Structure 1
Amino acid sequence: MTHKYTITGMSCDGCKSKVEKALNGIDGVEALVFLETKGATITMQKHLPIAQFQEILSAIGNYQISDFDEKLEATSKKPPLNSESKNDKKVTSSTSDLDAKYHCPMHCEGDKNYDKVGDCPVCGMNLEKVHELSTTKALFTCPMHPEIIQDHSGACPICGMDLVPLNPSDSEELKTYKNLVLKMKVSVACTIPIFIISMMEMMANNPLHKILPAIYSNWVQLFLSLPVVFYACWMFFVRAYKSIITWNLNMFTLIGIGAGVAFIFSLVGLFFPTLFPTEFKNTNGSVSLYFEATTVILTLVLLGQLLEAKAHSQTSGAIKELLKLAPTEATLVIDGSEKIISIHDIKKGDLLRVKPGDKIPVDGKITDGESSIDEAMITGEPIPVDKKSGDSVIAGTINGNKSFVMLAEKVGSETLLSQIVKMVNDASRSKAPIQKLADNIAKYFVPIVVITSIITFFVWAKFGSEPRYVYAFINAIAVLIIACPCALGLATPMSVVVGVGKGAQMGILIKNAEALENMNKVTVLITDKTGTITAGKPSVEKMYAVNNEEDNLLQNIASLNQYSEHPLAQAVVNFAKTKNCSLIKVNDFEAIAGKGVTGTVANKKVAVGNKKLMEHGKVTVATDLENKIIAEQKLGKTVSYIAIDGVGVGFVSISDAIKTSSAVAIKELIQQGVAVIMLTGDNENTAKAVANELHLSSFKAGYLPEDKLNEIKKLQAQGKIVAMAGDGINDAPALAQADVGIAMGTGTDVAIESAKITLVKGDLQDIVKAKKLSHAVMRNIKQNLFFAFFYNVLGIPIAAGVLYPFFGILLSPMIAALAMSFSSVSVIVNALRLRNLKL
């Protein structure tokens, strides 16, 4: 039984996923949750009371479930009303801000998005904008009269100047960076004088005392530290406070405690010096203050944040480059005339003129003309591809030196470019299994560091050298500062973001980080034949009819095959067209997966397919006809039997050329220790001919979709990590079952949806590149984890003073802050090296 409910309290995709997972965790329940309509469709084996669902949802958050509310659904589906003019600049900017989404670069809450820029409530990191293709129209303004805003290019109605596009795509990211730069300038301007004053205090004959008496120097340091603490770096204390009250302890917990204790100690020492024992006082009787330590630590942490902000913008460089591919305008051909329109106004079925050098506006096919098109930005292939009438073209690719007219087939979010951007975004935000190690360590890391800091203080206070309390205080702060776990949290996501972006630039689309990691572990590659090893463009080489009535037989099978999407069926239809053969009506058409097609043509029961179809229909096939078919198969041809009214009457021999890159790719994979197995629905003879030519590890013929699925399960049960490459609807179950499903971008949408990796070019050579990319990313992640652990494992004991009894070495909090900041930067810089990876 299935019921609809309304669920309130969900504010983001993370909430939706959490609710859906909780409901599906109930035995006998299958739930689909929809954020937009605040609805849920729940299928249950037996009726469960709504109170039981509410109990489950209350345990995971403030969610309320009730009977389905149609009014609420209707309200949520209504588009927002905009009563303002389209030329209102204020509305434009606010709409952009409302549409923008932000997420944590460390993915603390998985897929959760936030509506406003700010800090992550879990780890305190700056939220980053989710890059996506704009869903609003491009707007244009006049450089001389900014009040003029139009949704199309042209001349300014006031001064006649050309309008320029408004480009707010990276405004928030730039705003955040500029804000940090300003704070950095203020912090440095105040910190340097404090540092100089503090250092000169250590000189025997301090020349500064001639212009600034010692009694005033501490007060000057206090006033100079106020802008640093309460303006430039106040966000660190706010984040520390939030982390403590929510018990999401993170890097800012340690920074806030360390710098805060140093600052408060200095304030109390300045205003109430009599409260401190003599160990804390210098020769002139005043308490040694740590305004310079506080400001230098905070300034260095701010420097680290600034460098991270700069580096973060580079990690998403591949996504930004993809976004730049999207054109803003197109030329619409209507009633013989041409009109410039916004890309957002294009509708399916529109005819568009693409001029030399223009970007292709949407996905479609050429209807008139021909050209060479640079598809490097989508496929990674540097050589322009020749296109003629009937060929498909992709949004964002660049036309050569000829003009043509195209038919718009996929627009907006349906285009390949939009799907690539979405897939890269989703993959960049997913977690690799290896990140569980970092997450588990970080969970316990901060409390352990705080305890270590406290132990350090008491050990120095009890057993340390004089002044013991000063040493205890300084070393305890140094432990807190150097142990920042930021680098640990960034180690995996930074590499994943850059790696996925690099793959996208090469035409390798990775759905999630788990697939990226598993690709490195693959031991067996299962591959289909047609469209995967072969070009997927079969053509009829020979047709044989027992009664020599080939034309009549061709008309029958072509008429039947016109209803099938299988490449072999299309080859027969195309062959019939070259023979000027007309197609006739078919009744009772049926496609039998993995076998062939049947139907009634001209009152005759016609069947076209493989031997299993003949056996299924109990068709009688003469020995002479069978021998001719076997002879064709041994030549590597795919042969379809033809039967009419239960009797074999001929065959059609179809060839599909092996891709030139397939042999090279298979050889390289086998050399890397990957067994390459071909599972095909084709016959034994044809499969054997292809397997021998390519020197495959093994092959199995006559496999139906369920056979491929069971074979993968069998290999997985043996402990194999299995990748499956396919391109057809019949490959979808196997692609979904495999540890890594790899779809050919030239294949069906169903196959691509079922797979975890999509190869835009549909080339096996890209599987080799994907494996190299996976290996490089995993190696990069391990290097990052080493950097993070190295800083902490080495830095914490030194900060605690373990080297002091032997070498007299102590690590000041300022040096600790510097090391902490650059540990994070080193992780990001190391991840950025993946951008230069040669695949």
Structure 2
Amino acid sequence: MSSTSTKSIQIKIEGMTCAACVSRVENSLKKVEGIQDASVNLAAEIAQIELTTDVQDQQIIQAVNKTGFKIKKCATIKLKILGMTCAACVSRVERSLLKIPGVLAAQVSLATEIASIDLLYPVPVDQVIERIERSGFEAVLEQQTITALPNRELESKKILKHFIIALVLSLPIFIIEMGSHLLPSFHHFIGTYISQNQSWLFQFILATLVIFIPGRHFFTQGIKSLINLHPDMNSLVSLGSGAAYLYSIVATFFPSLLPQQSVHVYYEPATLIITFILLGKYLEARAKGRTSAAIQHLIGLQPKTARVRVSDLQTKDISIDKITIGMQVEVRPGEKIPVDGVVISGEGFVDESMISGESFPIHKLMGSEVVGGTLNQNGFLVIETKHSSENSILSSIIQLVENAQTQKLPIQSLVDKVTLWFVPVILLISMITFIAWLVIGPEPNLSYALINAVSVLIIACPCAMGLATPMSIMVATGRAAEHGILFKNATSLQKLREISTFAFDKTGTLTIGQPAISHIEIFAPFTHQQVLQTVASVEYHSEHPIAKAIVQYASDHHIKMIEISEFKSISGFGIQAQLNGQDIKIGSVEFITRENAKISHALSHHQRLLDEAQTPIAVSIDGELASIILITDQLRPETYEVMAQFKKNDKHIALITGDHQNAAQYVANQLNINAVYAQVKPHEKLNIVETLQTRYGNVAFVGDGINDAPALAQAQVGIAIGSGTDVAIETADLILMSSNLNNLSKAIKLSEMTIRNIHQNLFWAFLYNICLIPIAAGILYPLTGILLSPVLAAIAMALSSVFVLANALRLKTLKLN
């Protein structure tokens, strides 16, 4: 009888549309050996599965994938991982996490020290943390608040303290051992008062203090990793420094165990290895702190308190965490706006550059939306809050940047595979070096064997390879955020430079998105007053920019709205409604004339209106043509320069819009765009993007509306204008917080420079190891007599990571304009 126990899990499945889909999924799951029952809820998109504990998650995933549907993650856990030093550590944590039942995917960033874990079904956090701790690392739950950030300052201060201790203790050993070369007279003076045995005993005491105080971390972590058969950088340091230290102990206290010519002590390299590597780690921690400066800056924008109105004459300062939706908050001149909201009283100019990258203050009036963290330069504002601090735009921006920083580029997978075997290979090379020098090396061969084997262990640097990609991504995404450019994932950062074709929506993307009425043509028997009141009353219920322009025009002309019924929006065409028993249609000419020959005939007499380089909006009342309203929208001033730059860089440009052909062609002529697709429906935009991909390769689509969402999703890189709809922003890979298209040029330049920076880092990291490891092994000795000291190896190893970090930090000073 089997002792296998059973359990019940729930998984999320997307894409199901009907009962047939449900049956297909249930049948596929039930075919998996070990699954006793499967019940799928179509409305909730959840599958309830009863199964034995020996069923693997991959079997469930494959069963669902066979049906053509996809499994959705149920949640994401974020953990702060303490103690990682190199890419081998990252690989070890990821492999450990992926062995946990219920973990769908795991990504660990060495730069941010954050593990992002996607769950197939709920898994206790304690179980995840326990598995990480069994791998030799500490893990704590990353708080999902706006104030949560790794404290690099404390980390760097701790390392600096250990470095100073190691330096103070190592310096006397260095002076004693190297004094004969640097200060012969001083060395002779010491030699007359202290015997060699006393000197070695003194060095032993100092070296022991270095090993067990500042160097303790390397040994505890390194030995633990060796025992777990997952050696890392700490293992290399502990073996290298420990071998020199133990050899010196034998030479000090048991010299008879060694050949006479090999009785030497190596306390100096044993201690200086730790000292210089601590120096490197301190510089690394400081550099990592600078890479997260963008996030720290964003977090620093959030005020700690808000001045909340409790009555007309009374206010109270309360913590930002206690702000709820609907509260009224006062903001005085020079103060930061504490939370997202709407101005209900007062006016002023608000500096939003820290969020959108826009350099000019924005005039805020009653009804204007404001963003938490921005600066009220002048004027007194009363704001009604729209979001809590946890759900604010600023918090979302920080979350987006952090998510992008923890993700990996495809090239990182190759690096991870190399680093997985890097340390074991170094251990093998060190062993071969020791044996080779012991067998064929000159006298004292044991000393030569020890020194060169230790040099190989110390000079090898998996850290540089592990940091090469994530540090550049971390700096670049932070730098982008400073300019109001938000990469939602690291892959889009890489893909943007590979784009050959940019497809643009027109309204709100190439134009300023503030359409205005330029002309209204009224047809008998209808009157101007009647048509304007009818159109405005219907359009009042629409969110389209043109609708808002019409409503504003009516308001400016003191037109009163009246009640309507049966409002219906037909995406890509127009809207229809009932008003006082009349059937109202407003939209494109195609929409109004559909199945109405009478209106088609009437419009044929007014072709001049349709030939204008403007957007015609036709209005029908009870099947009669009532009006044609011409809408114009100005091009963004920077659009000319941006398009010219794209042409100069041999980029293909396409205009894809639902607007009238003449209006679209007018814009295309102004911007020298050859490919124009007008009067396009939302689903047709997706088809056009597919066609462009087939013809030109990688395509980016830039848009801002709900009808752009399918095209944004289809493109290799979907780019949403920050002033656009939530749907567009949710679908996009890249968000431009400002509507200024210069930010698109900045994003492309940053993408190009980031990938170049990553290639430089990887080239250096691999070249360093390929060239210096053979030199450390003594390959130059037969030709030049040159050997690399373990101390110099430690300095080189420490500086290799610092070089990668310094190179990544160059992206902070990159001029994007």
Q: TM class, shorter-chain normalised?
A: 0.7 to 0.9
The alignment status of 1:274 with 2:256, answered yes or no, reads yes
CA distance in structure 1 between the partners assigned to 2:209 and 2:558 by the alignment: 85
CA distance in structure 2 between the partners assigned to 1:250 and 1:601 by the alignment: 75
The alignment status of 1:185 with 2:164, answered yes or no, reads yes
Q: CA deviation at 1:590?
A: 1.4
Q: CA deviation at 1:495?
A: 0.8
1:298 to 274, 277, 293: 274
CA distance in structure 2 between the partners assigned to 1:356 and 1:175 by the alignment: 35
Q: Does structure 1 conserve the Cα–Cα contact (< 8 Å) formed by 2:197 and 2:252?
A: no
- Corresponding residue for 1:792? 769
The alignment status of 1:444 with 2:426, answered yes or no, reads no
CA distance in structure 2 between the partners assigned to 1:713 and 1:423 by the alignment: 28
**What's the secondary structure of 1:288's corresponding residue?**
coil
Q: 1:669 to 1:615 in 2, by over 3 A?
A: same
The alignment status of 1:397 with 2:359, answered yes or no, reads no
- Corresponding residue for 1:83? none
Q: Does structure 2 conserve the Cα–Cα contact (< 8 Å) formed by 1:131 and 1:320?
A: no
Q: Does structure 2 conserve the Cα–Cα contact (< 8 Å) formed by 1:634 and 1:689?
A: no
Q: Does structure 1 conserve the Cα–Cα contact (< 8 Å) formed by 2:40 and 2:47?
A: no
Q: CA deviation at 1:46?
A: 12
Letter of the structure 2 residue corresponding to residue 689 of structure 1? Y
2:309 to 305, 308, 333: 333
1:236 to 203, 206, 218: 218
The within-5 A match list for 1:144-223 is 172-200=151-179, 206-223=188-205
Q: Does structure 1 conserve the Cα–Cα contact (< 8 Å) formed by 2:8 and 2:49?
A: no
Letter of the structure 2 residue corresponding to residue 586 of structure 1? I
**Deviations 1:532-567 (CA, angstroms, capped at 9, x unpaired):** 111111122222222142221222222222221111
Identity over the aligned pairs, expressed in percent?
A: 36
The alignment status of 1:607 with 2:593, answered yes or no, reads no
Letter of the structure 1 residue corresponding to residue 284 of structure 2? E
Q: 1:305 to 1:273 in 2, by over 3 A?
A: same
Q: CA deviation at 1:488?
A: 0.6
1:669 to 633, 642, 646: 646
- Corresponding residue for 1:635? 612
Q: CA deviation at 1:626?
A: 4.2
Letter of the structure 1 residue corresponding to residue 231 of structure 2? L
Q: Does structure 2 conserve the Cα–Cα contact (< 8 Å) formed by 1:325 and 1:396?
A: yes
CA distance in structure 2 between the partners assigned to 1:561 and 1:118 by the alignment: 58
Q: CA deviation at 1:395?
A: 1.2
Q: CA deviation at 1:771?
A: 0.2
Q: CA deviation at 1:307?
A: 1.0
- Corresponding residue for 1:67? none
Q: Does structure 2 conserve the Cα–Cα contact (< 8 Å) formed by 1:498 and 1:832?
A: yes
**Deviations 1:141-184 (CA, angstroms, capped at 9, x unpaired):** xxxxxxxxxxxxxxxxxxxxxxxxxxxx7794333222212211
The alignment status of 1:533 with 2:510, answered yes or no, reads yes
Q: 1:438 to 1:626 in 2, by over 3 A?
A: farther
Unaligned runs of 5+ in 1: 9-15, 21-26, 32-39, 61-72, 77-101, 136-168, 282-286
CA distance in structure 1 between the partners assigned to 2:330 and 2:202 by the alignment: 70
1:513 to 483, 487, 490: 490
Q: 1:766 to 1:319 in 2, by over 3 A?
A: same
Letter of the structure 2 residue corresponding to residue 315 of structure 1? T
CA distance in structure 2 between the partners assigned to 1:495 and 1:117 by the alignment: 28
Aligned CA-pair RMSD:
3.4
Q: 1:176 to 1:109 in 2, by over 3 A?
A: closer
1:562 to 540, 543, 561: 540
CA distance in structure 1 between the partners assigned to 2:270 and 2:129 by the alignment: 28
- Corresponding residue for 1:582? 560
Q: CA deviation at 1:7?
A: 5.5
CA distance in structure 2 between the partners assigned to 1:592 and 1:501 by the alignment: 41
Q: CA deviation at 1:414?
A: 2.6
- Corresponding residue for 2:236? 254
The within-5 A match list for 1:426-575 is 426-547=403-524, 548-575=526-553
Letter of the structure 2 residue corresponding to residue 660 of structure 1? P
CA distance in structure 2 between the partners assigned to 1:788 and 1:370 by the alignment: 55
- Corresponding residue for 1:157? none
CA distance in structure 1 between the partners assigned to 2:447 and 2:718 by the alignment: 61
CA distance in structure 2 between the partners assigned to 1:569 and 1:816 by the alignment: 70
**Deviations 1:485-511 (CA, angstroms, capped at 9, x unpaired):** 101100111111111111111111111
Q: CA deviation at 1:121?
A: 6.5
The alignment status of 1:646 with 2:646, answered yes or no, reads no
Q: 1:117 to 1:491 in 2, by over 3 A?
A: farther
**What's the secondary structure of 1:313's corresponding residue?**
helix
Letter of the structure 2 residue corresponding to residue 199 of structure 1? M
Q: Does structure 1 conserve the Cα–Cα contact (< 8 Å) formed by 2:503 and 2:654?
A: yes
CA distance in structure 2 between the partners assigned to 1:679 and 1:432 by the alignment: 30
Q: CA deviation at 1:780?
A: 1.2
Q: CA deviation at 1:288?
A: 1.1
Q: CA deviation at 1:467?
A: 2.1
**Deviations 1:327-361 (CA, angstroms, capped at 9, x unpaired):** 12222234321413222333322222211101111
Q: Does structure 2 conserve the Cα–Cα contact (< 8 Å) formed by 1:331 and 1:338?
A: no
Unaligned runs of 5+ in 2: 1-6, 15-23, 30-37, 61-73, 78-106, 119-124
**Deviations 1:437-485 (CA, angstroms, capped at 9, x unpaired):** 3222212222222222222222222322222222222111111111121
Q: Does structure 2 conserve the Cα–Cα contact (< 8 Å) formed by 1:558 and 1:583?
A: yes
**What's the secondary structure of 2:464's corresponding residue?**
helix
Q: 1:334 to 1:689 in 2, by over 3 A?
A: same
Q: CA deviation at 1:199?
A: 2.3
- Corresponding residue for 1:344? 321
Q: CA deviation at 1:523?
A: 0.9
Letter of the structure 2 residue corresponding to residue 303 of structure 1? L
- Corresponding residue for 1:591? 569
Instruction: Provide TM-score, normalisation by structure 1.
Output: 0.81
Q: CA deviation at 1:275?
A: 2.4
Instruction: Provide TM-score, normalisation by structure 2.
Output: 0.83
Q: Does structure 2 conserve the Cα–Cα contact (< 8 Å) formed by 1:119 and 1:125?
A: no
Letter of the structure 1 residue corresponding to residue 291 of structure 2? T
CA distance in structure 1 between the partners assigned to 2:528 and 2:623 by the alignment: 18
**Deviations 1:629-654 (CA, angstroms, capped at 9, x unpaired):** x5345433111121233343322211
Aligned residues: 736
The alignment status of 1:822 with 2:799, answered yes or no, reads yes
The alignment status of 1:323 with 2:299, answered yes or no, reads yes
**Deviations 1:90-109 (CA, angstroms, capped at 9, x unpaired):** xxxxxxxxxxxx97534788
**What's the secondary structure of 1:348's corresponding residue?**
coil
Q: CA deviation at 1:187?
A: 0.7
CA distance in structure 1 between the partners assigned to 2:601 and 2:763 by the alignment: 69
Letter of the structure 1 residue corresponding to residue 116 of structure 2? D
1:781 to 758, 780, 792: 758
